[in-house]
Structure 1
Amino acid sequence: MRTPAARTLADYGVIVRRSWWLIIGTVAAALAGGFAYTSLSEEVYESTSSILVLPTASDTAVAGARTAGQVNLDTEAQLVKSTEVAAAAAEALGSDDPDGLVSRVSVTVPPNTAVLEIAYRAGDPKAAQAGAIAFSEAYLEHRRSGATASVDSAIAGATAALKGVKADIAAAEDELSQMYSGENGRSAIESELDGLRQDAEELEAQIAELDAQLGAISPGRVINQASVPGTPVSPNAMFNLAAALGLGLPLGLILAWARHRLARKVAYPTDLVERCELDVLASVPPAVKFQRREVFGAYSPGGRVFSQLRNVVASQLTHHQRVIVVAGVAPGPAASVVAANLATAMARAGDRVTAVAANPSTTVGLPELFGTDSVPGLADVWSGRVDLGVATHAAPRQPSLSVIGPGAAARAAGPTSEAAAETFSKLAEAGRFVVVDAPPLSCSADAQLLAGHADAVILAVQSGRDAIGETAAAALAMRQIDTPLLGAVLLPSGLGPMNTVPLPTARREAPAPGEVSQDETPTDSLEPVEDGAVERKALMNSQEATTQVMPVVPAAFPSAESR
């Protein structure tokens, strides 16, 4: 028996096939949501300008920075969205909401470059272009102002120092002009004056260099000017639909899996294997239609299924194992349909078979399916009113098949363990197989009692009707006895006319003297049948059986499908 751990890809395919409408519906709903989101979303355009950032005198390399070079581009990317740059861009755009403008800006640094890509988003193409240009120019002006301020500060410092040196030179020159040639100290002053003049020259050179730097400051330049975008970047219809599909498909599969695990009714053979721990002996496809209240023809699709079931059952039973109990899960025709068709398949294979109707709660009985009398039957045998031979009727179209109907007051006279054992023993001696249509396990324990005296048990399960919990409980009840549980036969949900109870006749003829009528009267309240009546009934049944068991050509009897 397979366990859930042995699940194959085909099992997952069954789950998908079982809830295909749920998966498709979920995916369709997700795609509809994606389409609605795309249709209702505001169009957003994006324009991008690229700036090559050049180093200035104020730039200093940062140790451990992500970008190499003198300029730290990560810092510069943050400066683009700074308050000062946003204020300048807002002034250029005529906006009074710098913070709102910053939320529309994104700055990226391409790998291994000294380039900043400034992107600006807006609801209008021209507004997107204007925003990208405004932020690019504001950033370059901010960077130029920073570099200029640094150089101006250096020039101011050098100019102040030069002014002081020139004052010292003037003082030294004045003091030197008041001294005589060769006077003590004159040489020292001359030496000091030469040093001051040299310092003045250095400061003047430094100021000249700073002035040159001031004129040559280049914080960067725009290498890709922002253009007017032709198509919006948002909403992206293909991306939204792909995202909706990527969300809807897994969600649909999850819902299908949840529906499979939470299903209460048996729907597929895998339900019997995984959740009821039952081997599936046969499964009648849903395409097989039950159009009449009769057994399948030998060469019909349903007939082939039960012929294969006969081979499976026969291979699992020894020659001394003959009694097979077919029990249903819930009240209905499932067990009767399986028992009748299995018995027919065995008879077609040449086995002597006796079909026993022990299920009074079915909507279609074995006598109706085989065209035999319901009375006298099993209840009459168990009550001691008739002999087993009298209750056995030959099937009209199957010479090797005999049928025992439910009998009179079948609902009132339940089986006893001794009666069931004796009946099965006699029937097993008379034929190769005995197929018993037992009552459903969900409302009676008679099937378990009958199975205790049988050689094998088969559960008849109807798809879409029998609950998984009840089926598992029925399997457990059968495993609690010593009789082997061979497995289950799964019937489709639609059994056509098999599910309906025939309407009662307008007139009920009075039973002939000595005959047993089919009613609901408890067996114990019935008067004993005279011995002479029983003998006459037995003689009549014997004569009818002799007439019906005449050799016939199989082709003379059309199959169920051909009719």
Structure 2
Amino acid sequence: MRTPAARTLADYGVIVRRSWWLIVGTVAVALAAGVAYTAASERVYESTASVLVLPTAGDTAVTGARTAGQVNLDTEAQLVKSTEVAEAAAEALGADSPADLVSRVSVTVPPNTAVLEIAFRADSPEAAKAGTVAFSEAYLAHRRGGATASLESAIASGTAGLDAITEDIAAAEDDLAAMEPDAGGRASLESTLDQLERQAGEAEAAVAALESEKSAVSPGRVINQASTPESPISPNAPFNLAAALGVGLPLGLMLAWARHRLARKVAYPTDLVERCELDVLATVPPAVKFQRREVFGAYSPGGRVFSQLRNVVASQLTDGQRVIVVAGVAPGPAASVVAANLATAMSRAGDRVTAVAANPSTTVGLPELFGTDPVPGLADVWSGRVDLAEATQAAPRQPSLSVIGPGAAARAAGPTSEAAAETFAKLAEAGRFVVVDAPPLSCSADAQLLAGHADAVILAVQSRRDAIVETAAAAVSMRQIDTPLLGAVLLPSVLGPMNSVPLPTARRELAPAPVVSADETPTDALDAVEGEDPMGASTQVLPAVEAAQTADPR
């Protein structure tokens, strides 16, 4: 027997198939949420510009930096989002909040390059492009200002010195002009003037060099101009739908698993195997319809299921094992349907069978299904009112099938261990098989008592009606006795007229056979067989003793 520990991938596939609608519904809801989120989200556009950063005289190499070279690009990336650059960009854009602009700009450094990727997000393509251009230009202007600040200071200092020298030259020239040509000290003054003029020339050359160096400063340039984005980067519909699917599918699978584990009713054969530890002998598919209160035809879909069940049961019983108890889980027609159709399948296979109605709580009894009288019956035998031979009747349409009804004293006299053992022993001598329709296990212990004197037990379970807990408890109660529990037969949730209130106890009149296809012709729709059967027994009354005398030696 396979237990939950031996669950295979196919078992999980069964769980998925049984709750496919839940999984599909969860995925559909998740996708709908993704579509709604995409439709409700604000459109965001992004424009990007590439700025090549060049080294300047003010740059110094940083030891241990992530990027190689004289320029530390990680530092430059932070400068793009600095307050000074943001204020300059806000002034260019006419924006009031530099902090808001900083939150919308991003800077990346491609590996092994001296390039900054400056991106700006906005609610329109034009605003995104304008923001990128503003931050790119503000960053280059800030870097240029930092690189030229020292040069400007040196130029200012040099210019001030030049001005002082020029003033000294002017003073010296004035003094020289006031002196007589042959005055003493004139030569010294002329020498001083020449020296001042040489200093003025050197200072002017130095200032000119600084001016030239300042004009040659290149902090970087834009190598990829910002373009107007054609489509928004957010919301990203494919990403949102993929994320919704990634959330909805696992959630649907988890809900399907939870539904499987929390299910309270038996719904599929796997429920019997995994949660009730029962082998499934046969399953009547939901497509099989119960249109009449009678057994299935030999070649109908339901008839073929029970023919296969007969073969399975017969293969598991030895020649000395003949008594089979069919018990239901909850009150209803499940056990009666299984017992009647199993007995019919055995009879069609040539075995002499006795069907015993020991279940007074069913909605459809064996006498009604086989067309026999419910009285006298089993309860009358156990109460001592009649003999077993008087309670045994032949099924009108199955010459090798005998039926024992529940009897008129069904509510007054229940089974005793001695009576059950004696009855089953006599019936086993009269036929190849004895099929007993036992009371449900959830409300009576009679089935366990009857099974104690039988050779095999079969549980009849109705899908979506019998509880898993009760079914598992029924299996446990049957395993507590020595009789082998062969397994369970799973019936569909809809049994049609089998679930309705039973007919009056008086024997029903045989209805004319309905017009149906050959494959769907039920046995009970045929006319009753009159006279003697091939085994020598009357088709109307077949006492147990006569059955024993005329039974097949098998």
Measure the CA separation in 2 of the matches of 1:336 and 1:503: 15
Deviation, structure 1 residue 58: 1.5
Deviation, structure 1 residue 303: 1.0
Q: How many residues align?
A: 487
Q: 2:284 is matched with which residue?
A: 284
Q: Which residues of structure 2 form unaligned runs of 5+? A: 167-197, 508-530, 542-554
Deviation, structure 1 residue 63: 2.3
| Matched position secondary structure for 1:548 | coil
Deviation, structure 1 residue 206: 7.5
Contact 2:394–2:538 (CA<8 Å) still a contact in 1? no
Q: Percent identity?
A: 84
The change in CA–CA distance for 1:426 and 1:76 in structure 2 (over 3 A counts) is same
TM-score (norm 1): 0.81
Counterparts of residues 355-374 of structure 1 (less than 5 Å):
355-374=355-374
Measure the CA separation in 2 of the matches of 1:158 and 1:111: 43
Contact 2:329–2:461 (CA<8 Å) still a contact in 1? yes
Measure the CA separation in 2 of the matches of 1:420 and 1:280: 27
| Matched position secondary structure for 2:249 | helix
Equivalent AA in structure 2 for residue 419 of structure 1: A
Q: 2:526 is matched with which residue?
A: none
Q: 2:513 is matched with which residue?
A: none
Deviation, structure 1 residue 256: 0.7
Measure the CA separation in 2 of the matches of 1:67 and 1:28: 48
Deviation, structure 1 residue 8: 2.2
Counterparts of residues 277-316 of structure 1 (less than 5 Å):
277-316=277-316
What are the superposed Cα offsets for residues 190-245 of structure 1, whole Å, 9 maximum, x if unpaired? xxxxxxxx999999987766544322111110111111112111112222222212
Q: 2:550 is matched with which residue?
A: none
Measure the CA separation in 2 of the matches of 1:342 and 1:111: 79
Deviation, structure 1 residue 264: 0.3
Counterparts of residues 303-382 of structure 1 (less than 5 Å):
303-382=303-382
Equivalent residue for 1:548, pick from 539, 542, 546: 539
Measure the CA separation in 2 of the matches of 1:200 and 1:314: 128
Measure the CA separation in 2 of the matches of 1:497 and 1:114: 85
Matched, 1:272 2:263: no
Contact 2:343–2:435 (CA<8 Å) still a contact in 1? yes
Q: 2:244 is matched with which residue?
A: 244
| Matched position secondary structure for 2:126 | helix
Matched, 1:139 2:136: no
Q: 2:3 is matched with which residue?
A: 3
Deviation, structure 1 residue 412: 2.5
Contact 1:334–1:491 (CA<8 Å) still a contact in 2? yes
Measure the CA separation in 2 of the matches of 1:221 and 1:201: 36
Matched, 1:29 2:23: no
What are the superposed Cα offsets for residues 525-556 of structure 1, whole Å, 9 maximum, x if unpaired? xxxxxxxxxxxxxxx999xx944279xxxxxx
Measure the CA separation in 2 of the matches of 1:199 and 1:400: 141
Deviation, structure 1 residue 64: 2.4
Equivalent AA in structure 1 for residue 142 of structure 2: H
Q: 1:553 is matched with which residue?
A: none
Q: 1:410 is matched with which residue?
A: 410
RMSD: 2.9
Contact 2:59–2:71 (CA<8 Å) still a contact in 1? yes
TM-score (norm 2): 0.83
Contact 2:532–2:538 (CA<8 Å) still a contact in 1? no
The change in CA–CA distance for 1:437 and 1:206 in structure 2 (over 3 A counts) is farther
Measure the CA separation in 2 of the matches of 1:397 and 1:134: 99
Contact 1:390–1:541 (CA<8 Å) still a contact in 2? no
What are the superposed Cα offsets for residues 333-373 of structure 1, whole Å, 9 maximum, x if unpaired? 00111111111111111111111110111100111111111
Contact 2:88–2:138 (CA<8 Å) still a contact in 1? yes
Equivalent AA in structure 2 for residue 64 of structure 1: G
Measure the CA separation in 2 of the matches of 1:161 and 1:34: 72
Contact 1:399–1:549 (CA<8 Å) still a contact in 2? no
Measure the CA separation in 1 of the matches of 2:42 and 2:26: 26
Q: 1:79 is matched with which residue?
A: 79
Q: Which residues of structure 1 form unaligned runs of 5+? A: 167-197, 506-514, 517-539, 551-563
Q: 2:13 is matched with which residue?
A: 13
What are the superposed Cα offsets for residues 406-441 of structure 1, whole Å, 9 maximum, x if unpaired? 001212211011101111111111111111110000
Contact 1:331–1:362 (CA<8 Å) still a contact in 2? yes
The change in CA–CA distance for 1:376 and 1:65 in structure 2 (over 3 A counts) is same
| Matched position secondary structure for 2:25 | helix
Q: 1:118 is matched with which residue?
A: 118
Deviation, structure 1 residue 284: 0.8
Q: 2:230 is matched with which residue?
A: 230
The change in CA–CA distance for 1:345 and 1:158 in structure 2 (over 3 A counts) is farther
Deviation, structure 1 residue 13: 1.9
Deviation, structure 1 residue 162: 10
The change in CA–CA distance for 1:396 and 1:159 in structure 2 (over 3 A counts) is same
Q: 1:390 is matched with which residue?
A: 390
Measure the CA separation in 2 of the matches of 1:202 and 1:467: 109
Q: 2:460 is matched with which residue?
A: 460
